[in-house]
Structure 1
Amino acid sequence: MTMKAVFVGIDRHRSPDVPELGGAKRDATALWALFSDSVPGLASRLLVDDQATLAAVRDAVVGTLNDAGADDIAVVSFAGHGSPDGSLVLYDTEPTDLAGSALSMTVLAEAFRTTKARVVLCILDCCFSGHAPARVIETSATPRSAFALTGIFGEGRILLAACAPAEAAWEQPGTGHGLLTYATIEAMSGSVGAPVSFPAVADEIIRLTRVEATRIGVTQTPAFLGNVQGGLVFPALVRGANYAAAFPPVPVHRITGSFAELAGVGMPQEIVDGWSGVFPDGLNALQIKAVNEFGMLAGKSLLTFAPTSSGKTLIGELAAIRAVSAGKKAVFLLPYRAW
């Protein structure tokens, strides 16, 4: 028996009309790394962002399922945008031509139906319908009931879907993962050395997803469908060499207060020089505390309460410039007037 897997995650798309995401690429990369570190002999592919074209994903998924033998287990994971008509939105999908440029569930269902694999596990962390602030592409004049799971699940076919057809799939603040993916990682990590069994672990995945959704004030109802006679057992997921390479620890840089030190942690030199000219005395105690004790320059979240003119704005500027310098985005909100 061998395990074959395809992990797909798309944050950025070729079309500027497709909204960017923040955690889909991380979802796919984390699952790929954890399965690679935990499953001996795993044959897997990871497709993210511009690698995840319609042709590449279709060939990888359909090819993996077609090549699977009667004793094999196949895992297919997708994180990204879904459309109300039940398609997966890929890197080169055009919103004006979903039928011709997105991956239809009909294609997946046929591949799932015809594969000789003993078991297929499909993890879909995306929205399929409904108005949502993330992970959904809206189209007009499309029935919201158009998406059907028929053919994706059944005996030997397991589907973990992030949410109900009319719900959004949300990302978890702080971890950079979708709620379903985060719950899957947590539940399948389990106790060290203890195997993970479906369908038993599905209950924990659903519970963790719903609990975290409630914690952040949203509703998300994941679905588990399908059955495996005799059950399906995976090794517990462990963080090994692949995970460490994909997600190296970010050190918390400690500073004494000189702006010159910031150039060594990724701040552009021209900005460091500008700050040094405006603030010749360097960072104040509040700003140093934000960096040294709260890991602000390491990407940690921080909420600062302090009196007017205590240096809060510069803390925000430090966080924003650090994020942009790392290839991320920053939104800076300022009051219209001070009170």
Structure 2
Amino acid sequence: MTKVHGIFIGIDRFQSPSINWLSCAKRDAVALHSLFSDNIDGDFQLIHDENATRDNIESKIKLLSNCSEKDIVIFSFSGHGTTNHKLVTYDTKINDIESSTISLDTLAEWFNNIPAKQLICIIDCCFSGGMGAKALEVNNSRQLRSGEELIKQFSGSGRIILTASKASEPAWENGKLGHGLLTYHLLEALQGAEEVRKDNKIGIYRLLEYVTSSVKNSAGQLGAVQNPMLLGQIIEEINFPIFKPGKLYNDAFPERSISLANSDIDSLLELGFPLGILNSWKLKIPSLNQIQIDAINEYGILKNNHLVVSAPTSSGKTMIGELAAIYGVTQRKRAVFLLPLKALVNDKLKHFNETYASFDIKTIKATGESTTDDIMPLMKGQYDVCLMTYENSQQLS
């Protein structure tokens, strides 16, 4: 009997302070893991952030050496690649890239020991640097083989590899979509995009062709170039059911189901806010007022909509800002507050640290004061909330 095995890896944050944070890699892995687990009875492993060490990834892959030839294996990685064609793990060390990353050669060797005759490898990262790209630039010796050559070693009979872009191109995250472009369109296809469905099933070739063309088109709409690579061949057609979000997916992404806020702060739990943060808010405000409820239900501040709030003093405008910011942080996005005075920045920093630090929300400030500001976390994206003065935001823009 055929069994489906899956390893879904997503890494946004890293042990090394020298590695830029990402926003969507963990969400990529959680979404794929949830959809597969909700729809297929298989063996699915989710590995993200601090659990995604090199050793742990290696051990999970090597366990697949016990699977059957009849089985199907799906491997998905979302995170940073390096400009010398390696996958960056949580514990990658900048001064020891060779032994603390996973080279494509090594990954291919691990896959060669998996007896399953059908293996699909999805890599949503890139090996080309650039601001905002999912790549870690490193200074290292020249590669003897090109990125395309390294990637091709995964392909062959029964082996398919889908990469987010060509080895010489960047791959992009889209904060509005909440995913890397490749994973977003893969999720779209699995849930039954019209071009993919046939007889209430999803064929693997139709799926991969759809994802490849959709990523290219989406990148073009952003003014970018991103051409996924699809290599290899499957021995026989693989058909999946049309995936439907179930308990795991809805628990992970409650904002994607229809739910409304009301005056009870606990109503925000259904929208994806952590219970601990709601309890913290309840110590300071008894309930949500109408302007805050309208901002959520009518104007979509939790759905990436823009909103300008004009209301009297003490009407709850600041809480609307915190609702939008903290919700974004729970989605692995970042928030910036602009304030007119340094004193207000310092006051707000104290408030955010007292309220949110215990929930692993990192707040920094950037006011231009060289004696108190550390600009590096801002430049590397290693923060959740940044508090800035108007003046300093203009200087940095």
TM-score surpassing 0.5? yes
Provide the residue aligned with 1:295 in structure 2. 300
SS in 1 for 2:135: coil
Provide the residue aligned with 2:36 in structure 1. 35
Provide the residue aligned with 1:219 in structure 2. 225
CA distance, structure 2, for counterparts of residue 228 and residue 130 of structure 1: 31
Amino acid at match of 1:102: T
SS in 1 for 2:45: strand
CA distance, structure 2, for counterparts of residue 32 and residue 155 of structure 1: 26
Provide the residue aligned with 1:279 in structure 2. none
SS in 2 for 1:127: coil
Mapping of 1:40-55 within 5 angstroms? Answer: 40=41, 42-55=42-55
Q: Retained in 1: the 8 A contact 2:129–2:136?
A: no
CA distance, structure 2, for counterparts of residue 225 and residue 294 of structure 1: 44
Mapping of 1:82-231 within 5 angstroms? Answer: 82-143=81-142, 146-147=146-147, 148-190=150-192, 191=197, 194-231=200-237
SS in 1 for 2:337: coil
- 2:249 pairs with 243, 247, 253, which one? 243
Amino acid at match of 1:228: I
Q: Retained in 2: the 8 A contact 1:9–1:79?
A: yes
Q: Retained in 2: the 8 A contact 1:84–1:142?
A: no
1:219 positional shift: 1.7
CA distance, structure 2, for counterparts of residue 309 and residue 105 of structure 1: 58
Provide the residue aligned with 2:325 in structure 1. 320
CA separation of 1:263 and 1:39: change in aligned 2, threshold 3 A: closer
What are the Cα deviations for residues 161-195 of structure 1, in whole angstroms up to 9, with x where unaligned? 00111222111232311110011111122159722
SS in 2 for 1:88: strand
SS in 2 for 1:332: strand
SS in 1 for 2:335: coil
CA distance, structure 1, for counterparts of residue 265 and residue 35 of structure 2: 34
SS in 1 for 2:161: strand
CA separation of 1:326 and 1:223: change in aligned 2, threshold 3 A: closer
CA distance, structure 2, for counterparts of residue 231 and residue 14 of structure 1: 41
CA distance, structure 2, for counterparts of residue 106 and residue 170 of structure 1: 24
Mapping of 1:273-284 within 5 angstroms? Answer: none
1:19 positional shift: 1.1
Q: Retained in 1: the 8 A contact 2:190–2:207?
A: yes
CA separation of 1:160 and 1:132: change in aligned 2, threshold 3 A: farther
1:216 positional shift: 2.5
CA separation of 1:246 and 1:291: change in aligned 2, threshold 3 A: closer
Q: Retained in 1: the 8 A contact 2:23–2:332?
A: no
CA distance, structure 2, for counterparts of residue 72 and residue 104 of structure 1: 25
CA distance, structure 2, for counterparts of residue 270 and residue 34 of structure 1: 34
CA distance, structure 2, for counterparts of residue 175 and residue 9 of structure 1: 16
Amino acid at match of 1:124: I
1:74 paired to 2:98: no
Provide the residue aligned with 1:56 in structure 2. 56
CA distance, structure 1, for counterparts of residue 331 and residue 283 of structure 2: 15
Q: Retained in 1: the 8 A contact 2:203–2:238?
A: yes
1:146 positional shift: 4.3
CA separation of 1:301 and 1:312: change in aligned 2, threshold 3 A: farther
Amino acid at match of 1:19: N
SS in 2 for 1:229: coil
Aligned length: 321
Q: Retained in 1: the 8 A contact 2:178–2:331?
A: no
Give the TM-score normalised by structure 2. Answer: 0.71
CA separation of 1:23 and 1:312: change in aligned 2, threshold 3 A: same
Q: Retained in 1: the 8 A contact 2:173–2:180?
A: yes
Unaligned runs of 5+ in 1: 256-260, 274-281
1:300 positional shift: 1.7
CA distance, structure 2, for counterparts of residue 63 and residue 317 of structure 1: 44
Q: Retained in 1: the 8 A contact 2:328–2:334?
A: yes
1:102 positional shift: 0.7
- 1:304 pairs with 307, 322, 342, which one? 307
Provide the residue aligned with 2:240 in structure 1. 234
- Identity between Structure 1 and Structure 2 (%): 34
1:267 positional shift: 8.5
1:84 positional shift: 1.4
